[in-house]
């Protein structure tokens, strides 16, 4: 398909009327009517073939869905609410199959319907590599936005869901092999914890929050660095799925990222409110005055200095 064929396909697939989008797909800019009394929350992510996804092992629908979900995960970490609006930029190499483009758009459409996202515009360009760039907005009530800088000494550290499978899938892929099917499914299909993030925000449970995109150790350092505190993380408490635990993982196997779970801190007086969250939550450590330490099951310090995703490496 050429550029205008793709644009027409997008208009047909996503061009339904929406009262909040005053200038829809087709103009130089979109014009959005914000919900009354809400603040805008905005994020942007880029996914590149061979790094953030694999066109060889992901289905086209999975590529489209992942492009949406990594942005939704960012919005979840701030406690943002729907309606969400997305702007899609496609960088397409010559010869990319029409079926790939159509399948990718089908995946994006499916998640628009699933998560309450409205595609408001975007751009298409030619490129030597296949990549997808999404900008997405949500909404938050004043003074309720979660951030990385609210952790206090004595807070406990929690994470949703399980961690590690996506990292190991990526490692297997980069080593030149096909990732294990279970691990590949987790890498290709993250679950944005939108409801959990909204409850953490609206009920004022979390002091700080981040989504685990760069690795749990790296992202916890973002919280401690911006909050001016330290942390002790207990390796034995990390929630690995049984298949990964059976492999006796080490930090290099699980520290890369791509989990898209929520990592957050909670004052001890608010722990009882965690029962309201709709997903599994695991306590993995505690905020301290300074330092960053990961302890093994015997209480000895582990070296995690070489884990975590570097976007420019």
pLDDT in tens, 53-79: 999 999 999 999 999 999 999 999 999
Average pLDDT score over residue span 138-158 = 97
> pLDDT grade, residue 27 (50/70/90)?
confident
Q: Which domain holds residue 49?
A: 3-140
Q: Is the same domain home to 178 and 135?
A: no
Phi, psi angles (nearest 5°) of residue 282: -125, 130
Return the higher-pLDDT residue of 190 and 5: 190
Average pLDDT score over residue span 93-113 = 96
- Which range among 11-15, 49-53, 214-218 shows the weakest confidence by mean pLDDT? 11-15
Residues 202 and 79: beta-carbon distance below 8 Å: yes
Number of domains in the chain: 2
Collapsed DSSP state (helix, strand, coil) of residue 284: strand
Q: Is the same domain home to 7 and 136?
A: yes
Q: Is the same domain home to 136 and 187?
A: no
- DSSP category for residue 228: T
pLDDT digits (tens, 9 = 90+) for 270-301: 999 999 999 999 999 999 999 999 999 889 99
Q: Which long-range contacts (CB under 8 A, 24 or more apart) does 178-182 make?
A: 178/57, 179/57, 182/241, 182/243
Which pLDDT does position 308 carry in this prediction?
54
Q: Is the same domain home to 67 and 164?
A: no
312 has a pLDDT exceeding 60: no
The reply to whether 302 falls in a domain is no
Nearest to 86 by CA among 136, 45, 37: 136
Q: Is the same domain home to 35 and 123?
A: yes
Q: Is the same domain home to 196 and 232?
A: yes
Q: What percent of the chain has pLDDT over 70?
A: 98
Nearest to 121 by CA among 110, 131, 136, 106: 136
The reply to whether 39 falls in a domain is yes
Q: Is the same domain home to 243 and 270?
A: yes
The reply to whether 151 falls in a domain is no
Q: Is the same domain home to 20 and 127?
A: yes
> pLDDT grade, residue 235 (50/70/90)?
very high
Name the strand (E) or helix (H) holding 31: strand 31-32
**Claim: this prediction has a pTM higher than 0.75:** yes
CATH assignment of the domain containing 256: 3.90.650.10
């Amino acid at each position: 398909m050429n550029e205008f064929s793709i644009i027409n396909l997008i208009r047909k697939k996503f061009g339904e009327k929406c009262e909040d989008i005053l200038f829809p797909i087709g103009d130089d800019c979109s014009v959005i009517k914000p919900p009354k009394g809400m603040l805008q929350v905005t994020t942007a992510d880029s996914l590149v073939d061979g790094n953030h996804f694999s066109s060889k092992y992901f289905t086209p629908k999975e590529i489209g869905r992942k492009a949406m979900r990594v942005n939704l995960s960012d919005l979840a970490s701030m406690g943002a609410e729907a309606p969400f609006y997305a702007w899609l930029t496609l960088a397409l190499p010559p010869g990319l199959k029409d079926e790939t483009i159509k399948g990718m758009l089908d995946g994006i459409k499916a998640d628009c319907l699933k998560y309450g996202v409205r595609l408001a515009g975007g751009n298409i360009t030619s490129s030597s590599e296949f990549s997808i760039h999404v900008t997405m907005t949500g909404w938050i009530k004043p003074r309720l936005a979660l951030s990385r800088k609210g952790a206090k000494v004595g807070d406990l550290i929690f994470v949703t869901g399980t961690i590690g499978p996506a990292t190991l899938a990526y490692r297997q892929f980069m080593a030149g092999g096909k990732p294990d099917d279970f691990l590949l499914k987790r890498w290709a299909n993250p679950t944005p914890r939108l409801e959990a993030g909204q409850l953490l925000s609206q009920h004022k449970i979390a002091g700080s929050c981040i989504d685990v995109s760069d690795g749990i150790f790296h992202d916890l350092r973002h919280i401690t660095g911006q909050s001016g505190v330290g942390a002790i993380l207990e390796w034995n408490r990390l929630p690995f799925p049984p298949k990964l635990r059976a492999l006796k993982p080490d930090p290099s196997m699980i520290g890369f990222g791509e989990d898209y779970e929520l990592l957050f801190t909670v004052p001890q007086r608010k722990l009882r409110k965690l029962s309201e969250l709709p997903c599994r939550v695991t306590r993995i450590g505690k905020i301290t005055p300074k330092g960053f330490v990961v302890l093994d099951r015997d209480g000895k310090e582990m070296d995690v200095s070489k884990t975590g995703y570097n976007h420019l490496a």
